[in-house]
């Protein structure tokens, strides 16, 4: 028999049924000679993507997929040209939550987050969950080849 609730205790809240456990995908590869692990977890309200090197996470960024002005999203549909498809969607606004010890690291982190969110949105245009990206890169450099290698590894998890 359950214990009676104390009058000052809030009533139990029913939690909506969601798939449990959350779907998780992982991939790993060497980028610039450093083992890089990527994991994505699809929660009912958020999509979490972590990119780690050396098992560390130093920066957290979130990117809401839902534009603040719903009418504005039509002008940001993916372009048919291959050059434009490499650019992040311009209506996405990444925000650093934690980390980014300097402006270069913050800018690179936001670039990764915007690119990842663009992939999620282009894969499913109806997706409205916020994308949260955790980064733990050894070097925060703007090397194009390393950037594409990391993004390709993330694509395997989305």
Q: Which residue has the higher pLDDT, 12 or 26?
A: 26
pLDDT at 70 over 80: no
- Report pLDDT for 35: 96
- Report pLDDT for 37: 96
pLDDT in tens, 71-95: 444 444 444 444 445 556 666 888 9
- Report pLDDT for 77: 47
Residues 6+ apart with CB under 8 A from 56: 136
Please state the rounded mean pLDDT for residues 42-53. 95
Residue 154: half-sphere exposure toward Cβ, Cα within 13 Å: 25
Lowest mean pLDDT among 24-28, 39-43, 84-88, 98-102: 84-88
% of the chain with per-residue pLDDT over 70: 70
- Report pLDDT for 151: 92
For the chain, the average pLDDT equals 79
On whether the CB atoms of residues 34 and 53 are closer than 8 A, the answer is yes
Count other C-beta atoms under 10 Å from residue 29's C-beta. 14
What is the band of 122 on the pLDDT scale with cuts at 50, 70, 90? confident
pLDDT at 113 over 50: yes
């Amino acid at each position: 028999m359950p214990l009676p609730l104390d009058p000052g205790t809030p009533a139990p809240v029913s939690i909506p049924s969601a798939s449990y456990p959350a779907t998780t995908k992982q991939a790993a590869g060497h980028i610039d000679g450093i083992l890089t692990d990527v994991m994505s977890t699809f929660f009912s309200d958020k999509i979490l993507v972590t990119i780690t090197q050396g098992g560390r996470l130093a920066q957290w960024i979130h990117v809401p997929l839902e534009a603040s002005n719903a009418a504005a999203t039509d002008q940001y549909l993916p372009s048919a040209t291959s050059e434009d498809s490499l650019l992040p969607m311009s209506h996405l606004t990444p925000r650093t939550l934690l980390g980014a010890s300097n402006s270069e690291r913050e800018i690179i982190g936001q670039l990764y987050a915007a690119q990842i969110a663009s992939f999620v949105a282009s894969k499913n245009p109806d997706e409205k969950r916020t994308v949260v990206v955790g980064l733990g890169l050894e070097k925060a450099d703007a090397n194009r080849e390393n950037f594409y290698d990391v993004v390709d590894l993330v694509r395997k998890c989305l």
